Structure 1
């Protein structure tokens, strides 16, 4: 019986693999994509690179999201071509639909009988 225990313990020890680190949270990854790359720590930059290198779609998404964020920050609506008038107005005028969206969200929460948390 001891021999069997010893052999199975050795087999378990030989087959144990290190657990990979947990996948980053979506908000974490978003926090690495939106700011300019020079504002990221080296660790965050490398981690984002590891995520985007194997998948060209993710790499393209990162690049396009960064370009859009830069346009929004600098109000450069003229850089977009499709839906020119609407895009230009949305990126250059000081108006936004934030208050309307807040009311819509509150209405939906009331319908669901879910109370929003106080700020």
Structure 2
């Protein structure tokens, strides 16, 4: 080791030794809002044990997030299990809490209540075909005319 570095090397070692032996708890930085939103929007069973623990910690510090998580997961259950009869009670529960952004969502759903969950059909298949056609159109942009696009859509 060069002579000029001996003192600084020993100071660095002493610093890390005191930090390692310190009784101060090591804290992790708080998760980003995007990470918390991801945890809220995912199915609770798909979260790892560490993510569940960090989610509980975040929710314990913010009661609004607890209410938001409860409402989001209840709404997801209503949608996935097609329980449209539970929608009015969910809307009432949302209005009881002080979550202005969720109030806006509830007002929009209330306006279109008949079409939100209660209809027995889904436009998912049509949306899939529209997405496929748009992908083909993007692939062919600037390369060929409408006739070739038409053939690709019909043959794909």
User: Into which bin does the TM-score normalised by the smaller protein fall?
Assistant: 0.5 to 0.7
Contact 1:75 1:92 in 2 (8 A): yes
- Pair 73,5 (structure 1): closer, same or farther in 2 beyond 3 Å: closer
Partner of 1:6: 10
Partner of 1:117: none
Which of 44, 69, 74 in structure 2 is aligned with 1:67? 74
**Which structure shows the bigger proportion of residues in helix conformation?**
2
Contact 1:53 1:59 in 2 (8 A): yes
- Pair 8,45 (structure 1): closer, same or farther in 2 beyond 3 Å: closer
Q: Are 1:55 and 2:62 counterparts?
A: yes
Partner of 1:109: 135
Stretches of structure 1 lacking an aligned partner (at least 5 in a row): 114-119
Contact 2:84 2:118 in 1 (8 A): yes
Contact 1:77 1:92 in 2 (8 A): yes
Q: Are 1:84 and 2:145 counterparts?
A: no
TM-score normalised by the chain length of structure 1:
0.55
Root-mean-square deviation (CA), in Å?
4.0
State the alpha-carbon separation in 1 of the partners of residues 119 and 52 from structure 2.
33
- Number of residue pairs aligned between Structure 1 and Structure 2: 105
- The alpha carbon displacement at 1:43 in A equals 6.1
TM-score normalised by the chain length of structure 2:
0.46
- Pair 104,18 (structure 1): closer, same or farther in 2 beyond 3 Å: farther
Stretches of structure 2 lacking an aligned partner (at least 5 in a row): 89-109, 140-156
CA-to-aligned-CA distance 1:71-105 (integer Å, 9 cap, x gap): 23443213334133223xxx244310111221232
